[in-house]
Amino acid sequence: MAGATPPIVRVYARARLPSRHGTFEVVSFTDSEGARLDDVAIIRGDIAGATAVPTRVHSECLTGDVFGSLRCDCRDQLELALDRVAADNFGLILYMRQEGRGIGIAEKVRAYELQDAGYDTLEANLHLGFDGDLRHYDIAAAMIHALEVQSIVLHTNNPLKVEGLEANGVEVVAREAILSEPRDENVRYLRTKKAKMGHEL
């Protein structure tokens, strides 16, 4: 898919990252003017020049990733991606600082408040005056290019991520689902993502 030229980012630093899921490499980046990005890449294996690299573009979820919230499936997806990359000894995870589908943590808590009052996750964001999903994929695409990855297999349930990366010059050769077991606390959230947001669950 032809699209916009993504911004230029450069690798800034690389370090070994031993973790509960195995040992990885963590990579940070700068933009074209030298400003440090908050987004990072987690890598296993030699992905430079490689094709069909298993890749997860994961948007930050403080409540799920850090605090273990059961309202969403974000931490489950992140841990599944880490386990897959470790098991294959090859792959890439981009951790993007796009909290709450791009609205930030403060507004996300307001959205949670509305959900407690009966709104679903999409209705809450719309009620607050936001689009359902404000995330962009130009920086993620630029990070993939900076790492010299030639093509990816994207591990996502969200077709918009495929479209967003392809629009920024990334070749997505396949999509792999990344599914976790639903819980009582997140089943409505998952149903909303499937019915209203096009996620393939």
Query: Is residue 61 a known part of a binding site?
Result: yes
pLDDT in tens, 141-183: 999 999 999 999 999 998 889 999 999 999 999 999 987 776 7
Which residue range is the domain that position 40 belongs to?
A: 9-98+135-193
Identify whether 116 is a catalytic site residue: no
Residue 121 domain flag: no
72 annotated as ligand-binding: yes
- Please give the pLDDT value at position 120: 85
In-domain check, residue 36 = yes
Q: Is 74 annotated as a binding residue?
A: yes
Q: Evaluate whether 90 touches 44 at the Cβ level (below 8 Å).
A: yes
Buried/exposed 38-53: b ≥16 CB within 10 Å, e otherwise: ebbbbbbbebeebeeb
Identify whether 108 is part of a domain.
no
156 is in an annotated binding site: yes
Q: Over the stretch 86-114, which tens digit does the pLDDT of each residue have? A: 999 999 999 999 998 888 999 989 989 99
Q: Is 135 a catalytic residue?
A: yes
Q: Taking each helix axis from N to C terminus, what angle separates 138-146 and 159-166, rounded to the nearest 10 degrees?
A: 60
The CATH number of the domain holding residue 153 is 3.40.50.10990
From the candidates 44, 73, 135, 138, give the one annotated as an active-site residue. 135
